Structure 1
Amino acid sequence: MSTPVTILCGELGAGKTTLLSSLLESTDRELAVLVNDVGAINVDADLVEARTELETGEEVLALENGCICCGIGGEFSRSVVRLQRERAFDHLVIEASGVSEPEPIARQFVRGPAAGSYDLEAVVTVVDARRFFDRFAASDADAGDGELDLPTPSGPDDDGTRPLEDLVLEQVEFCDLLVVNKCDLVSEAEREHVVALLETLQPRAEIVTTEYGSLDPPNLLGVQRFDLESATEAAGWKRALEGDDEEGGHDHDHDHDDRHDHEGDHSDDRGHDGHDHAHPPDQYGITVDSYHRRRPFHPERLTALLESLPTELVRAKGLCWIAGRERQAITMSHAGDQTTLEVTGRWIASLSEDRQETYRRGQPDLEWDEKWGDRETRLALIGRDLDRDALLERLDDCLLTDDEMDDDWSTFENGAPTSTGEPIVLSSGEPSDGN
């Protein structure tokens, strides 16, 4: 019989370890815990061991010096398989590092070596209510009545590391339970605003609110919530693009996880959970829109826009066609005041004629331009009190004019990425010193 698994995600300081410690003290189940941290000393594992009064600490399996979703994935898989073989327990709980993406971890239990031994029950993301409101929901720097002066994330590293805000929203968008923690640090109105925004970003997930990581075990254990295809497609920005597909009759998606890999090959792994979720109340001013154009952006004007996006734009994600990058399908991901541009594959139209024909036969409904093929821009836009028309007009102003369409696009100054694994990060706000 497969052992149930719960994955616990959330940014650094959200309260994952506190929640886990409380769970270990309050449940009567025999739990095995895998704690992952990035660093030579696994602080979280030490905290969990101390709080649960374990004599040997052997029930807490710690992976260090890496992230379980990437660099030490092989060690992770071997560890969880060995753990089940050598020890008896009722449930495995994984506390992922605050810099881990949940989807690659989940896939190891669905399609990886651990799939035969374990059954993934739930992916839980813990959200710091105060920090989330200040970062994504406050209208200005003075909004809210919390007393804590929490620092905002610093800008990207020189190597183009993806912004923390982007990772936070990835953790929110791929889960089936959202635990809004530290609600004692926000007002009731702020908490309701945070919940409404989370409902928009992840319509499928159940949301619970708490203080000090206090949550009854039945909310976390013994509830079969997880479905890989549903979780993959549940993000609010993906639903916005799907809605645009339904309206426009276009069903071509270049998302990195669905159709493009590093070699430019395409495969369709899409799914729909049919979940019908009410939109957040209009009183919060939260809107979800899409932007679809079949004309390229001018790289310089696009850069200028991305460096001055309105603060009311909470999330933007999708595919961009940038002049001078005729081969590269570039994903744009905006969160907070940071925007990442990253090559996630190739346009089908940039491949050889034989390969184009192969892909087009497999996608008979693919919208295709005789000259430009499948190149397009398709973005989802999620905002709060956002002037939608003004933003759409600014995006349109970034498109090439009729005269520019006839220019030599290689002469444009172009900072867009040219290959996978080399993201470009732009900031639309004053960089923080992290203090």
Structure 2
Amino acid sequence: MADRLPVTVLSGFPGAGKTTLLNHLLAHGAGGRVGVLVCGAQDGQTLAPLPPGCEATVLPSAEALLAETARLAAEGRFDALLVEADGLDEPLAIAEGFLFEAEHGAGPEAAVQPDTLVTVIDAATFLRDLNEAEFLADRGLAQGLDDDRTVAEVLVAQVECCDVIVLNKADLAGAADLAQLHAVLRALNPRADIVQASFGKVPPERVQGTGRFDFEAAADAPGWLAVLRDEVPTNNVSGVSTLVYRRRRPFHPQRFADLIHTEWLREHGSVLRSRGLFWLASRMDTAGDWNQSGGVCRHGGAGAWWAALDPAEWPADTAERAEVEADMQIGGAPAPFGDRRQELVLIGLDMNQAALQARLDACLLTDAEMAAGTEAWATYADPFPGWVDEFDDDHDHAHGHDHDHGDDCGCGDPDHHHGNHGDHPHAH
């Protein structure tokens, strides 16, 4: 099988400096025949003169990327490809497209291999944007009427699953701010190599030809997942810390709904990112999926708890089944309600962890409510929207935390998030 054409993907929010980095790499890279693909119209974009053997193509949209890379790979004219993604694209999704094309496209002779996923961030604006609830539509960036993503959600998606983070415009941030930025980025993605830069001046070998890309590793890279696997410390560094909230008692649905309509994520420090599973007493079969980036959180159905399924439907693979069985136990003894649990990771600045835990604990069933039993729990007021149609019981379940966004934190109102803060209707 012919060697696949290596591709470096430059991602990053508009204005972060992707084009500046691209021009630097073309001028100071390793040379050779490099094909350059630029997705969509980039604001203020000006490509520098290309070195000999290089060729640039501006694509009308990200959708044209796969077909163009396959065509260039099949022609065999280049040694490598450099892709400047659209400012709202997620690097892992692009890599997944390349891998799918390699398996199902024109054949191995026309395949590309992701080499390095690079995300460029703006050191002067990243934390501010991550801490807000500004929607893409507020900046005129939404990709269609149904694109309800926030700036923070795009930033998190670009940072959590990349191989290299270029902390650009570092000259615009002070030493303390840079230290805090490094700590936040390390908490969001402990696997990534962080390269500090100004004007996109990065040693080319840090972002090209690194061979760092591995799909499984990238998919497992988010810091919240690493924390759940006990792979990274949760120490306080430059004010950045991580809280793991685990309980084997359900939330009262009304009390939890009431909590998430308050400013609780801003009242005890600033929670920048939180993710995980939650258990409502009124929904014994279905796990809740919690997903918060900056000022907006989303919740929905994560799928069935393993305990709600017949053991015959559990994984046949020995290792996977052992994980399921381990989730069914507490301290080596069978858990009263199987794998049902609260399992949330919170990453933030200056967090008062005891206060945050106390707010969540107040939503748990009391001893008296626990004693009332599941039939009583089913009658509790539950303002959350229905999750029945959000998953297929034959395929989706709560194990593994691999879920899509659900409903916004508004308990059914898609226009409500965390109440008002200043003049922004969707902020914490």
TM range (shorter): 0.7 to 0.9
Q: 1:59 is matched by which residue type in structure 2?
A: A
Distance 2:115 2:182 in 1: 23
Q: Does 1:333 align with 2:333?
A: no
For 2:367, the equivalent position in structure 1 comes to 402
For 1:345, the equivalent position in structure 2 comes to 303
Using the TM superposition, give the Cα deviation of residue 278 of structure 1 relative to its aligned residue in structure 2, in angstroms. 7.9
- Kindly tell me: are residues 34 and 432 of structure 1, through their superposed partners in 2, closer, same or farther at Cα, counting changes over 3 Å? farther
Using the TM superposition, give the Cα deviation of residue 224 of structure 1 relative to its aligned residue in structure 2, in angstroms. 1.9
For 2:399, the equivalent position in structure 1 comes to none
Q: Does 1:125 align with 2:119?
A: yes
Using the TM superposition, give the Cα deviation of residue 408 of structure 1 relative to its aligned residue in structure 2, in angstroms. 4.1
Q: Contact conserved, 1:341 with 1:416, CA < 8 A, in 2?
A: no
For 1:268, the equivalent position in structure 2 comes to none
For 1:180, the equivalent position in structure 2 comes to 167
Q: Contact conserved, 2:118 with 2:162, CA < 8 A, in 1?
A: yes
Choose from 372, 384, 398 the match for 2:337: 372
Using the TM superposition, give the Cα deviation of residue 136 of structure 1 relative to its aligned residue in structure 2, in angstroms. 4.8
Distance 2:27 2:94 in 1: 25
Choose from 170, 176, 185 the match for 2:157: 170
Q: Provide the alpha-carbon RMSD of the alignment.
A: 3.4
TM-score, structure 2 as length reference = 0.76
Choose from 277, 284, 287 the match for 2:238: 284
Per-residue deviation, residues 193-231 of structure 1 (Å, max 9, x unmatched): 111221222122111111222323233212222222222
Per-residue deviation, residues 276-313 of structure 1 (Å, max 9, x unmatched): x7877x56122222111122222232233223223322
For 1:154, the equivalent position in structure 2 comes to 135
Using the TM superposition, give the Cα deviation of residue 94 of structure 1 relative to its aligned residue in structure 2, in angstroms. 1.9
Helix, strand or coil for the counterpart of 2:250? coil
Q: Does 1:424 align with 2:371?
A: no
Q: Does 1:6 align with 2:2?
A: no
Q: How does 1:83-232 map to 2 (within 5 A)?
A: 83-110=72-99, 112-113=101-102, 116=108, 117-136=111-130, 153-154=134-135, 161-232=148-219
For 1:241, the equivalent position in structure 2 comes to 228
For 1:248, the equivalent position in structure 2 comes to none
Q: Contact conserved, 2:180 with 2:240, CA < 8 A, in 1?
A: no
Q: Contact conserved, 1:348 with 1:374, CA < 8 A, in 2?
A: yes
- Kindly tell me: are residues 176 and 378 of structure 1, through their superposed partners in 2, closer, same or farther at Cα, counting changes over 3 Å? same
Q: Contact conserved, 1:77 with 1:108, CA < 8 A, in 2?
A: yes
Per-residue deviation, residues 10-46 of structure 1 (Å, max 9, x unmatched): 2222221222233234333322122223xxxx346x9
Using the TM superposition, give the Cα deviation of residue 392 of structure 1 relative to its aligned residue in structure 2, in angstroms. 0.7
Q: 1:316 is matched by which residue type in structure 2?
A: S
Using the TM superposition, give the Cα deviation of residue 113 of structure 1 relative to its aligned residue in structure 2, in angstroms. 2.3
Q: Contact conserved, 2:39 with 2:60, CA < 8 A, in 1?
A: yes
Q: Contact conserved, 2:281 with 2:377, CA < 8 A, in 1?
A: no
Q: Contact conserved, 1:160 with 1:422, CA < 8 A, in 2?
A: no
Distance 1:160 1:36 in 2: 19
Q: Contact conserved, 1:166 with 1:333, CA < 8 A, in 2?
A: no
Distance 2:284 2:255 in 1: 17
Helix, strand or coil for the counterpart of 1:51? coil
Using the TM superposition, give the Cα deviation of residue 178 of structure 1 relative to its aligned residue in structure 2, in angstroms. 0.7
- Kindly tell me: are residues 91 and 432 of structure 1, through their superposed partners in 2, closer, same or farther at Cα, counting changes over 3 Å? farther
Q: 2:326 is matched by which residue type in structure 1?
A: L
Helix, strand or coil for the counterpart of 1:47? coil
Distance 1:408 1:344 in 2: 20
Helix, strand or coil for the counterpart of 1:290? strand
Choose from 278, 281, 293 the match for 1:320: 278
Q: Contact conserved, 1:3 with 1:119, CA < 8 A, in 2?
A: yes
- Kindly tell me: are residues 105 and 192 of structure 1, through their superposed partners in 2, closer, same or farther at Cα, counting changes over 3 Å? same
Sequence identity (%): 31
- Kindly tell me: are residues 31 and 357 of structure 1, through their superposed partners in 2, closer, same or farther at Cα, counting changes over 3 Å? closer
Distance 1:162 1:294 in 2: 32
Using the TM superposition, give the Cα deviation of residue 352 of structure 1 relative to its aligned residue in structure 2, in angstroms. 4.3
Distance 1:121 1:51 in 2: 23
Distance 1:187 1:361 in 2: 48
Q: 1:423 is matched by which residue type in structure 2?
A: G
Distance 1:199 1:319 in 2: 23
Q: Does 1:293 align with 2:247?
A: yes
Q: Contact conserved, 2:254 with 2:382, CA < 8 A, in 1?
A: yes
Distance 2:22 2:211 in 1: 19
Distance 1:135 1:305 in 2: 24
For 1:29, the equivalent position in structure 2 comes to 32
- Kindly tell me: are residues 206 and 354 of structure 1, through their superposed partners in 2, closer, same or farther at Cα, counting changes over 3 Å? closer
Using the TM superposition, give the Cα deviation of residue 324 of structure 1 relative to its aligned residue in structure 2, in angstroms. 3.0
Distance 1:360 1:400 in 2: 35
Q: 1:363 is matched by which residue type in structure 2?
A: R
Per-residue deviation, residues 341-385 of structure 1 (Å, max 9, x unmatched): 132332223334642586899513332267633222211122221
Choose from 49, 52, 62 the match for 2:49: 52
Q: Contact conserved, 1:81 with 1:114, CA < 8 A, in 2?
A: no
Structure 2 gaps, min length 5 = 329-333, 391-403, 410-416
**Matched positions, count:** 373
Per-residue deviation, residues 153-184 of structure 1 (Å, max 9, x unmatched): 23889968343312311221111211011223
Helix, strand or coil for the counterpart of 2:265? coil
Distance 1:346 1:51 in 2: 53
Q: Contact conserved, 2:12 with 2:18, CA < 8 A, in 1?
A: yes
Q: 1:310 is matched by which residue type in structure 2?
A: L
TM-score, structure 1 as length reference = 0.75
Farther off after superposition, 112-121 or 334-343 = 112-121
